[in-house]
Amino acid sequence: MIGGAQGSGVDSAANIFSRACFQGGLHIFGNREYYSNIKGEHSYFAVRVSEDPIRSHLDDINILVSFDAETIFRHADKVTSGGAIIYDSDLSSTTLQEVPTIDEPAAKRIRELLEKSENPITVNGMVNFAKNNGAVLYDIPYFGILKQFSVEINEPALSKLTRMINVMALSASMAILDFDKEILAKAIKVIFKAKPKIADGNVLAANYAYEYVKSRFDLSQSQFKLSCKPQSAEIILVQGNQSSAMGKLVAGCRFQTYYPITPASDDSEFLESNQIVEQTDGKKGSMVVVQTEDEIAAITMAIGGALTGVRSGTATSGPGFSLMAEALGWAGMNEVPLVVSLYQRAGPSTGLPTRHEQADLRFAIHAGHGEFPRIVFASGDIEESFYDSVKAFNFAERYQMPVIHMLDKLIANSVMTCKYFDQSRVAIDRGKLLQSLPPSVEVGAAGHYLRFKFEESPVSSRIPLGTENGIFWNSGDEHTEEGHITEDPFIRNKMMDKRLSKLDLALEEISDEDKAVSYGQLDPSLALTVIGWGSTKGAILDALDELALEGKRVHFVQVRLMNPFPTALLERMLFNTKILVDIEMNYSSQLGSLVNQYLHRDSEYRIVKYNGRPMSTSEIYNALMSIINGNAPRRIVLEHGT
């Protein structure tokens, strides 16, 4: 784990570490946590490394790299026996009271911990507490080695070098891990590839810190080493909001709107930086991204783009989606193929703007007044989010309705190694989109196009706005086949049936693997199945792997299609399950309530978390073990987090 004040280079250091491990042929999973603050508050980036694929983080810390006193106070007690703490020795006497960014509830817990262990309430007291628990301390005078380095490279202006402290501290951890420093240097150059002079300077600083630690400390007893292996060409390192955005590019999305909001903004900003993409026919295709004045403008502009025949979407989070509800209904009434990427965060209201939660499931299913169809589709990890972005646009156009692609803060702000995205798995389905009116097209009495024509299929053919002779009307009111406003009760019934029956068609046609995925086999002796959705997938699978090593086989069902709900498929998957465990990042077990509603069965156990910090492998493993051992309450609330 790397921690420090926001703006001190935490992300850069973690990205270098992740990139180096990736280039060293290792698998990584990294999770970024930060306050709703531009600069100054505490942030940290936890990176887990393994020779085998991993999908989640752990509670324990093996190596803690600290840029400031707050990181020591908040995290040093979580370092495992034999683990390492790298910290600035100049901060040893810093008291808890001298760190104003630690809020009082956290400060109270830290004081109680140190007082109970009879340690002074200082950085030195906290690292001593960790040392007594088996941690190994690496006290490094950051400013001192920076001055030595400045002499080494003949740079008297220390102000030009202070930004390198993060890389030097990171490099110290690489020395402890005995990691290949040449691969570290390559990673630094990749991260700073747009600034070669800065890259070269950071490589020199990293090498200096690496050799400093090697020469000053006895590392022979270090429990943790990272050995590199050949890098696989089939594995990539990618961040969640980048993978979803790349999926949009491949899907043929050419118009995206947004109003800045955490954690959704990075999706649009990535698209902004990649607005020209290479098409399969060798021609250039433009991607237009518009930052609007608010979320109402964002969704209505995206609706306009979709009406012109362009694949269009918008990306937002909870508060922004709240503002989009009325326009979402307009899209439903007019059968507009709109995609909304909904990056969930902790609510309600402003809530915890930069923290994680899965509490918008029911809202996504029911947002908007009245009844209209929408598909709600949830990705479970970074790799899925790429392919699901394509599927979201396919569903939107095939069934001519809004699609809400459910993502969340953990997916958006995590980074992991996964298989190279295979574009041969991508197929584009534009549904009944006509680029021109065929001569035989049926028209209304006035010769106008029947955009909402009643046919055997509830999905009518559609044409882009501006098609020659293709005149029809769009309105928020109920309408005729041409789009004219009507209050006729018989037309109303037919239009409602037309729109809502598209959900039955979607449920019939969407593949089972896009509805729900079953992992492992049900063990008859346990008959225990875990059910979950979204980003809990990674921690659940990693926890189940740990249980399997102990001979305990647990079945997992990941639900992906939330609306329309895949009742029949889930009934088959859960048929022999005697103990159903629902795992979710919300207070009320929203998926569990849907299972109860549609399958008429309740979960025997519910594991929930709602403190804004994502579930870890450790937490889920411990909770499931307590259930297997028969000493768990029916509702287990997970509480780990800093």
* 141-174 residues labelled b (16+ CB within 10 A) or e (exposed): ebeebbeebbeeeeeeeeeebeebbbbbbbbbbb
12, 14, 49, 207, 504 from 177: Cα distances, Å = 19, 15, 12, 14, 56
C-alpha span between 440 and 420 (Å, rounded): 46
Do residues 570 and 556 make contact, with C-beta atoms less than 8 angstroms apart?
no
**What is the predicted pLDDT for the residue at 277?**
53
Q: For 200-225, write each residue's pLDDT tens digit.
A: 999 999 999 999 999 999 998 788 99
Sign of the CA dihedral with 78 first, then 81, 84, and 89 last: positive
**What is the predicted pLDDT for the residue at 78?**
96
C-alpha span between 639 and 34 (Å, rounded): 18
282 has pLDDT over 80: no
395 has pLDDT over 80: yes
**What is the predicted pLDDT for the residue at 273?**
85
279 has pLDDT over 70: no
Least confident of 74-88, 410-424, 438-452, 613-627: 438-452
**What is the predicted pLDDT for the residue at 439?**
82
Give me the torsion for CA of 588, 358, 416, 543, rounded to 10°. Answer: 10
Averaged pLDDT of the chain: 95
**What is the predicted pLDDT for the residue at 155?**
82
588 has pLDDT over 80: yes
Q: For 123-179, write each residue's pLDDT tens digit.
A: 999 999 999 999 999 999 999 999 999 998 888 777 778 889 999 999 999 999 999
* Mean pLDDT on 608-616: 98
Q: For 120-131, write each residue's pLDDT tens digit.
A: 999 999 999 999
**What is the predicted pLDDT for the residue at 442?**
80
Q: For 35-87, write each residue's pLDDT tens digit.
A: 998 889 999 999 999 999 999 999 999 999 999 999 999 999 999 999 999 99
Q: For 345-384, write each residue's pLDDT tens digit.
A: 999 999 999 999 999 999 999 999 999 999 999 999 999 9
DSSP β-bridge partners for residue 561: 377
Helix (H, G, I), strand (E, B) or coil at 136: strand
Q: For 20-38, write each residue's pLDDT tens digit.
A: 999 999 999 999 999 998 8
pLDDT band at 529 (very low <50, low <70, confident <90, very high): very high
Predicted structure pTM score = 0.95
C-alpha span between 429 and 435 (Å, rounded): 14
What domains, with CATH codes, occur in the chain? 2-216 (3.40.920.10), 238-425 (3.40.50.970), 513-637 (3.40.50.920)
DSSP β-bridge partners for residue 32: 45
Q: For 463-519, write each residue's pLDDT tens digit.
A: 999 999 899 999 999 999 999 999 999 999 999 999 999 999 999 999 999 999 999
* 39-65 residues labelled b (16+ CB within 10 A) or e (exposed): eebbbbbbbbbeeeebbbbbbebbbbb
